[in-house]
Amino acid sequence: MNDTIFALSSGGLPSGVAVIRLSGPAAFDICRQIVDSMPAPRMAALRTLRGRHGEPLDQGLVILFPAPASFTGEDCVELQIHGGKAVVSAVLEELASFPRARLAEAGEFSRRAFENGRMDLVEVEGLSDLINAETEMQRRLALEQMAGHVSAVYEGWADRLKFARAMIEAELDFSDEEDVPGSVSDRVWQDMWQLSAEMSDHLARSKGGEIIRDGLKVVISGPPNAGKSTLFNALVQRDAAIVTNIPGTTRDVLQTDIVIDGFPVRLIDTAGLRETDDVVEQLGVRRAQTATESADVVLRLHTTGLSNDIPIEISGRIIDVWTKADIYASPGGSSIGISAETGEGMEKLKALIVEDARALTANGLVLASRQRQLTALRSARRQIDEACHSNDLPLDLRAEMLRHASNELGRITGRVDVEQLLDVIFSQFCIGK
């Protein structure tokens, strides 16, 4: 933290403009030595950048961000220069020549922002997700986290736990005082039951956050020649899978990532499910069954004249799809008829695929999206439930359970005991962020 760090914070070179960021105690002193005059804070000014021997390096915009109102909470300088490789290299070499100035490590700017209280861990992870967002829903989810809306929910829960523990401690330590209630049951445990219910609802809806961040796993399953690869190609809008009239053409798992209504979808084509003596095809069938068992959504294909009686196990949702609707009529009911050739039923099928994800996010995107967040939330809820159910235990033990729950919430935002997580989290950032 005593070093002044710098890095190229913009994209790859060459480019029209390159942004170099400095942060640390010597940032302003370094800037003062490479520009002819310092601009006013937060005012972009055109300046000539020079080496310490007076030779010009480039001409660009210089912006100063005094501490603590900067991204990192330290004195920061932003240099917007021309994006040529030689120009950027010359400026970085000049910065490296100053004492206690060094190139930043991956995620070090964001880590300093966290350590200086400018961001909590949920906001940091939201920033990382925003940088890597590829779909509209990923962008919106990341913004909710980066803006602190998710953290505000967890901090509100932590405050309620703190109040409950304070009431219990008051009853234990000051039960003889007139202004201390004689029982905390009505004021504490009723709210803790409500808090547990709110956390359960949040965890249930956070499946939508996982889907938005990691993608909805959709497997196309069915007998040979049911039109699996044809449907796969129609959904990805290119000839990604080989299509023939020969049964058993697809013998391995083929997958690609697509976007449906803003939701990322990992679409998986599988081998036809049937009994066979072909050893290679048997391997394909086993892989198809494995993929199907772990899917969020299975498109179970049917077509007239082909049986689909091989049982499959799935924890997700099954959509029964009748193919070749331009030739054969589908039976209707809960199934859907489609034709990859004419496009009949395709838009309805896409809507059905993301139906659950859309329902989970219908009430907003204030959701947990990472496994570590979900793990801590489940642990906190479990501690609260145990405290609520343990009427036969002493109050001090039940208060200890609530303290553990509070600590789990603190680990999500980084308020307590997260040192071992920091290297992992910030290493996921690029240099300069």
CATH code (residue 53): 3.30.1360.120
Same domain, 156 and 98: no
- End position of a domain, from candidates 71, 104, 137: 104
Q: Are residues 243 and 201 in the same domain?
A: no
The CATH number of the domain where 188 resides is what? 1.20.120.430
List of residues 6+ apart from 264 with CB closer than 8 A: 134, 135, 137, 138, 211, 212, 214, 215, 216, 257, 258
Q: Is residue 153 part of a domain?
A: yes
Whether residues 318 and 226 share a domain: the answer is yes
Q: What is the pLDDT of residue 285?
A: 64
How much is the pLDDT for 270?
Answer: 81
Distance CA 330, CA 338 (A): 8
Dihedral angle at the C-alpha atoms of 57, 63, 68, 72, nearest 10 degrees? -60
Please identify, among 333, 360, 387, the residue that sits at the C-terminal boundary of a domain: 360
Q: Does residue 86 sit in the same domain as residue 161?
A: no
94 located within any domain: yes
pTM of the model: 0.81
Indicate whether 12 and 81 sit together in one domain: yes
Widest CA span in the chain? 86
Is residue 211 a part of any domain in this protein?
no
What range defines the domain where residue 59 resides? 4-104
In one letter, which amino acid is 204? A
The phi and psi torsions of 48 (rounded to 5 degrees) equal: -90, 125
pLDDT at 396: 86
- The whole-number pLDDT of residue 286 equals 66
Considering the domain architecture, whether residues 228 and 167 belong to the same structural domain is answered as no
Q: Give per-10-residue mean pLDDT for the chain (433 aa).
A: 91 93 96 95 96 92 97 96 96 94 94 93 93 92 93 94 84 60 68 95 90 89 81 79 48 79 89 58 64 85 67 78 79 78 89 89 88 94 94 88 93 74 66 68
List the CATH number of the domain containing 275: 3.40.50.300
Flag whether 213 is in a domain: no
Residues 98 and 12 in one domain: yes
Q: Answer whether residue 374 is part of any domain.
A: yes
Indicate whether 281 and 333 sit together in one domain.
yes
Looking at the domain assignment, is residue 292 inside a domain? yes
- Give the span between the Cα atoms of 223 and 269, in whole angstroms: 12
Do the beta carbons of residue 64 and residue 41 sit within 8 Å? yes
**Is-contact 224 323, C-beta < 8 A?**
no
**DSSP label at residue 215:** -
pLDDT score of 121: 92
Site of tokens 């809008």: 237
In 3D space, the residue among 32, 57, 37 whose CA is nearest the CA of residue 47 turns out to be: 37
Note the pLDDT tens digit of each residue in 330-388: 676 678 888 888 888 899 999 999 998 888 888 889 999 899 999 999 999 999 999 99
Query: Residue 81's beta-bridge partner residues?
Result: 18
Tokens of 343: 């496009």
Per-residue model confidence (pLDDT) at position 181? 52
Q: What is d(CA 248, CA 396) in angstroms, rounded to the nearest whole number?
A: 65
Whether residue 135 sits in one domain with residue 89: no
pLDDT at 308: 59
Domain annotation covers residue 109: no
Same domain, yes or no: 193 and 238:
no
Residues 18 and 97 in one domain: yes
Per-residue pLDDT of 391-405, as tens digits, reads 888 888 998 999 999
* Residue recorded with tokens 């490789």: 85
Considering 49, 69, 104, which residue would you say is the last residue of a domain? 104
How far apart CA 169 and CA 47 sit, in angstroms, is: 61
Amino acid identity for residue 57 in this structure: L
Q: How many domains does the chain have?
A: 3
User: Looking at the domain assignment, is residue 248 inside a domain?
Assistant: yes
**128 and 178 fall within a common domain:** yes
